[in-house]
Structure 1
Amino acid sequence: MTKRLSNLLIPLIAVLLGILSGTIIMIVSGYDPIAGFSSLWNGAFGDLYYTGEVIRQVTPYILSGLAVAFAFRVGLFNIGVEGQLIVGWLAAVWVGISFELPKVIHLPLAILTAAVAGALWAFIPGLLKAKFRVHEVIVTIMMNYIALHATNYIIRTVLSDKSDKTKMIYESASLRSPFLESITDYSRLHWGILISLACAVIMWFLLEKTTIGYELRSVGFNHHASQYAGMNVNRNIILSMLISGAFAGLAGAMEGLGTFGYAAVKGGFTGVGFDGIAVALLGGNTAIGVIFAAILFGALKVGALNMPLESGIPNELVDIIIALIVFFVASSYMIRWVIERINKKGVK
């Protein structure tokens, strides 16, 4: 069995094991698993509205997954995607409510501002990692909380006259589309899905087809060998975090300019940035893998809302299934060992 086929089978087996474990949990808890998964499917794809909502949910998942995956591919662990997303969300909305410009200028400006804000927020842990070898996991985790409370403070004191949310962005900065909404029975689907897919292509091209991408991956594989080969390790570490943060900031722009159209004080994290870690892991840290993993997670998240209504099963069960899928992906060496044993027996 080839390595590529093995890498494809591992996430598929992890998903199947997660679903199987979820089925067992349903049975043990006294629920009908057939009714449960049927209601999950109906809540995700049983209606045009639900399908539109799934695609809408997939949009920030792709971008947050790309942010985590890009950092992984270059040897970094960006746990700060959630904070970078929140900062990008606020930056995009700030531009969206501060100016009223032609849409061809206003919308790209708001989106680019979100990317820059996310990149700058990721620059700090990147700089500390490059210059002082401070572990990026610790710094990015701490900066998530700084982002949450700093953006809440700015919303309350600067942007919204001490209310809990800003005013709606101008239409010229909105990603919403009456056409997309009408064909999906007035879901919140917006044009951001095209941006997220374009970013997946950009990540693939940058890492696989450019000299910069080769350097970034080399630094990720081995700092010392890359430095010996004449590569600027510190610069590449910082650049990696900047690009990863830009993807995360764009994920925030999708929420601020598309799904909601405003920025609100948050009682806690959105969860999208943390879910991006699971999306990246399941997607094997590849652009195409992230897209498929985001579709799965988006369908599970949206479909879960229908489970209590149709089958009486609590939607928290889907979170358990997602956690189990992540567990099996993280334990992929066990799955790989089983595949190798079966492959050896087949050869004999």
Structure 2
Amino acid sequence: MFSNRLFNIVVPIVSVLLGLIVGAIIMLFFGYNPIEGYLALWNGAFGNMYFFGETIRQTIPLILTGLAVAFAFRTGLFNIGAEGQVFVGWVSAVWVGISFDLPAIIHLPLAILVAAFAGALWGFIPGFLKATRGVHEVIVTIMLNYTALYSSNYLIRNVLSEGGDRTEPIAETASLRTAWLSETFGYSQVHWGFVVAILMAVLMWFLLEKTTYGYELRAVGFNEHAANYAGISVKKSIIVSMMISGAFAGIAGAMEGLGTFRYIYTHASFTNLGFDGIAVALLGANTALGSSLAALLFGSLKVGSLRMPPLSGVPSELVEIVIAVIIFFVASSYLIRWVTLRLKKGEK
């Protein structure tokens, strides 16, 4: 147990350090100053209250999509459809935000709950097909990403607006942004979604680690046959796991619709929030705390990279290379460990 925990702590830290070192080497190779580049990155993410607020804002949906992917992984499933679940959650939250005239104490929670339900419903489809027909969830979730993208675009143009490419803004009673919070963080787009993200991380930790039902979900992930022998309903667990995972991603979409933008627009391609969630979960060792910290790292890298070209001349695309290298080292470490364990079992 201790070795597993130690491994899950050391691997991400070493991978991040190696990623930054490789990034510095690349900067030197192309004639840039890595110290200036990383200082610009730091200042762009935490240099003042505005940049700090933008970093928090960027981190919020990454925490939630990371939790979505991590929850599925912990229960033996691969949710590659968090991207689509973000879309359906986003469009559902905005629909509630512009369609109802309710007090804020009802309007805002209702919009978030509807987004969570939409994401859960989108997660139900691959969960049901896997549980009842044995269809692999990776295939179904990837296809549902495209279904969600084009369906949401259709709804925006034909239902939520009069042929336009974006909806009208949501009502103030459904907004996560407040003048006080924005002013405190240098008039950035930060919003109260960071409280929602923290609560969801605590909820995932409590559900998986402190409840009997969470233990059953994890047991199915470890060994379906043993879980079934112990009297656990494997089919029900698979469906519920995918629904909870989808709900997390749906709430991530709500954070974009109710907080960052306060409307939804048609997308020509994916937002990459769901796919970034895979990297966040991987770096965070599929834990609630680890995924939250990984999301903060990725959020700061993405926001800070915008200041690298004007302050140091380093192209912002370098950060994508650093992130890719970090993911590579994390994945390689887990792959090496998996192969080692398999060889040890073979020797026995």
Q: Distance in 1 between matches of 2:286 and 2:4?
A: 15
Q: Name the residue aligned to 1:140.
A: 141
State whether residues 6 and 336 of structure 1, in contact with CA within 8 Å, keep that contact through their aligned partners in structure 2: no
Q: Distance in 2 between matches of 1:53 and 1:7?
A: 29
1:266-289 deviation line (CA, Å, top 9, x unaligned): 111111111000000000000110
Q: Name the residue aligned to 2:346.
A: none
Q: Name the residue aligned to 1:281.
A: 282
Q: Distance in 1 between matches of 2:335 and 2:151?
A: 42
Q: For residues 88 and 177 of structure 1, do their structure 2 counterparts lie closer, same or farther at Cα, with a shift above 3 Å needed?
A: same
Residue 25 of structure 1 deviates from its aligned partner by: 1.1
Q: For residues 223 and 200 of structure 1, do their structure 2 counterparts lie closer, same or farther at Cα, with a shift above 3 Å needed?
A: same
Q: Name the residue aligned to 1:167.
A: 168
SS at match of 1:331: helix
Residue 336 of structure 1 deviates from its aligned partner by: 5.8
Residue 319 of structure 1 deviates from its aligned partner by: 0.6
Q: Distance in 2 between matches of 1:287 and 1:242?
A: 17
1:202-249 deviation line (CA, Å, top 9, x unaligned): 000000111110100000000111111111000000000000000000
Equivalent position amino acid for 2:163 in 1: K
Q: Name the residue aligned to 2:58.
A: 57
Q: For residues 158 and 228 of structure 1, do their structure 2 counterparts lie closer, same or farther at Cα, with a shift above 3 Å needed?
A: same
1:68-124 deviation line (CA, Å, top 9, x unaligned): 000000000000000000110000000000011100010010000000000001110
Q: Name the residue aligned to 1:346.
A: none
1:109-166 deviation line (CA, Å, top 9, x unaligned): 0000000000001110000110011110011011001100010011011111111100
Q: Name the residue aligned to 1:85.
A: 86
Q: Name the residue aligned to 1:177.
A: 178
Q: Name the residue aligned to 1:151.
A: 152
- Counterparts of residues 1-348 of structure 1 (less than 5 Å): 2-333=3-334
Residue 2 of structure 1 deviates from its aligned partner by: 3.6
Equivalent position amino acid for 1:288 in 2: L
Residue 334 of structure 1 deviates from its aligned partner by: 6.9
Q: Distance in 2 between matches of 1:55 and 1:335?
A: 34
Identity %: 64
Residue 3 of structure 1 deviates from its aligned partner by: 3.3
**How many residues are paired up?**
338
Q: Distance in 2 between matches of 1:193 and 1:86?
A: 19
State whether residues 114 and 253 of structure 1, in contact with CA within 8 Å, keep that contact through their aligned partners in structure 2: yes
TM-score of the two chains, using structure 1 as the length reference: 0.95
Q: Distance in 1 between matches of 2:334 and 2:240?
A: 31
Q: For residues 336 and 218 of structure 1, do their structure 2 counterparts lie closer, same or farther at Cα, with a shift above 3 Å needed?
A: closer
Output the aligned Cα RMSD: 1.3
Q: For residues 126 and 336 of structure 1, do their structure 2 counterparts lie closer, same or farther at Cα, with a shift above 3 Å needed?
A: closer
Residue 29 of structure 1 deviates from its aligned partner by: 1.6
Q: Distance in 1 between matches of 2:193 and 2:36?
A: 33
Q: Distance in 2 between matches of 1:92 and 1:277?
A: 23
Equivalent position amino acid for 1:258 in 2: G
State whether residues 84 and 121 of structure 1, in contact with CA within 8 Å, keep that contact through their aligned partners in structure 2: yes
State whether residues 10 and 335 of structure 1, in contact with CA within 8 Å, keep that contact through their aligned partners in structure 2: no
Residue 172 of structure 1 deviates from its aligned partner by: 0.4
Equivalent position amino acid for 2:216 in 1: E
Q: Distance in 2 between matches of 1:175 and 1:333?
A: 38
Q: Distance in 2 between matches of 1:257 and 1:282?
A: 28
Q: Distance in 2 between matches of 1:257 and 1:132?
A: 37
My pick for the range that moved more, 5-14 or 66-75, is 5-14
My pick for the range that moved more, 211-220 or 24-33, is 24-33
Equivalent position amino acid for 2:58 in 1: Q
Q: Distance in 2 between matches of 1:155 and 1:166?
A: 6
